[in-house]
């Protein structure tokens, strides 16, 4: 089992005119190769953990992706270059976070060094899973 972690400071947009910085951590574990974990407010009293598809993160950094509880889309600087991406989480009550794109893109690439895209389910013992389901 191998892991990759990334800690960084992000922006929580409380309302359009009120931004709060907080620390977060992205993590990837080969034990669950389809998923990434995002822990928000890692230094706070009540950090919040969201687990979602690694593919969703990759797609959302390039174009709007996701529906339901996790939606991502890219953000651009004044020159139109991708500089950040947004993550909206929650159901009836939502929270919006702006995350710098470059460090996450580099970290994400390193997760693909551990488990290549499209090979996440290689090695799964499907017979064992079927037996567990019966």
pLDDT tens, 96-116?
A: 999 999 999 999 999 999 998
The pLDDT value recorded for residue 13 is 95
User: What's the rounded mean pLDDT across residues 1-7?
Assistant: 93
The pLDDT value recorded for residue 65 is 97
User: What is the average pLDDT value for the chain, to the nearest integer?
Assistant: 91
Beta strands in the chain (DSSP E): 3-15, 18-29, 35-40, 48-53, 70-76, 82-90, 94-100
pLDDT at 34 over 80: yes
Non-local CB neighbours of 90 within 8 Å, separated by 6+ positions:
69
Percent of the chain with pLDDT over 70: 96
**Position with higher pLDDT, 80 vs 48:** 48
- Overall fold of domain 3-133: Transcriptional Co-activator pc4; Chain A (2.30.31)
The pLDDT tens digits of the residues spanning 53-100 come to 999 999 999 999 998 899 999 998 888 888 999 999 988 889 999 999
Q: Where are the domains of the chain?
A: 3-133
Measured distance CA(92)–CA(132) in Å, rounded = 34
Record the pTM. 0.86
Model confidence band, residue 124 (pLDDT cutoffs 50, 70, 90): low
């Amino acid at each position: 089992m191998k892991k990759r972690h990334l800690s960084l400071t992000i922006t929580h947009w409380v309302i359009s005119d009120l931004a709060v910085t907080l620390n977060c951590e992205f993590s990837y574990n080969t034990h669950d190769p389809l998923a990434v974990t995002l822990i928000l407010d890692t230094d706070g009293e009540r950090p919040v953990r969201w687990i979602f598809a690694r593919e969703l993160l990759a797609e959302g950094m390039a174009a709007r992706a996701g529906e339901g509880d996790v939606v991502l889309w890219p953000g651009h600087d004044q020159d139109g270059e991708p500089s950040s991406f947004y993550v909206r989480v929650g159901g009836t009550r939502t929270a919006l976070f702006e995350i710098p794109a470059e460090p996450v893109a580099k970290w994400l690439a390193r997760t693909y060094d551990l488990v290549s895209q499209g090979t996440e389910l290689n090695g799964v013992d499907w017979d064992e899973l079927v037996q567990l389901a019966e």
